[in-house]
A = this chain, B = another copy of it.
Amino acid sequence: MTTLGPGVTFILGGARSGKSAFAEELVISSGLEAVYLATAQSLDGEMEDRIQRHRDRRGADWKTVEEPLELVASLRTQVRPGRAVLVDCLTLWITNLMLAERDIAAETQTLIDRLKDISGSVVLVSNEVGLGIVPENAMARAFRDHAGHLHQRVASCARNVFFVAAGLPLKMKG
């Protein structure tokens, strides 16, 4: 088992790849106080179900904070010594920013600046979405571009990067 050090750990994987479960294991096995920073919004029943399943799996040891948009402010408040903050997930944050018509480049830059400064333990989870056919929908292409650029920048300032497939982590960096 990889141990969770200080700084940024980035976990990238496909849908239903087990990336969240792997991230949770990293946090729990660290022995640090576990904070779950959820970017999900319950906009429909399907999402509601997923949020509840994740919550049930984590159990009562976690403090849960829901923050669809103000991720950077929330990190500022939540990250502190003795804690590990798990952000799940960056792709939903980008979706929320796009729906709210925020300036993605500016928001992303603020996040990266924050991550470079962080001394506590932060685990960021995100969906790799760029390995299928080019989407016909322009909005989906824009989303894919934003996600890919963000992933490169987060990976660049992360101490450890894992790619997760079928529940198995592959270390890409660290």
Contacts and interface: CB of A to CB of B under 8 A. Distances in A.
B149 A16 contact: yes
Contacts of A136: 137
Interface in A95-144: 128-137, 140-141, 143-144
Contacts of A141: 46
Contacts of A137: 136
Given A14-B130, A17-B130, A166 B152 contact: yes
A134 B91 CA distance: 11
Given A129-B133, A133-B135, A161-B168, A152 B14 contact: no
Interface of A: 10, 12-18, 46, 128-137, 140-141, 143-145, 147-149, 151-152, 154-156, 161, 163, 165-168, 170, 172-173
28 contacts: A12-B166, A13-B130, A14-B148, A15-B131, A15-B134, A15-B144, A15-B145, A16-B144, A16-B145, A16-B147, A17-B130, A18-B148, A46-B141, A128-B131, A129-B133, A129-B134, A130-B132, A131-B132, A132-B132, A133-B135, A133-B143, A152-B166, A155-B167, A156-B167, A161-B166, A165-B172, A166-B172, A170-B170
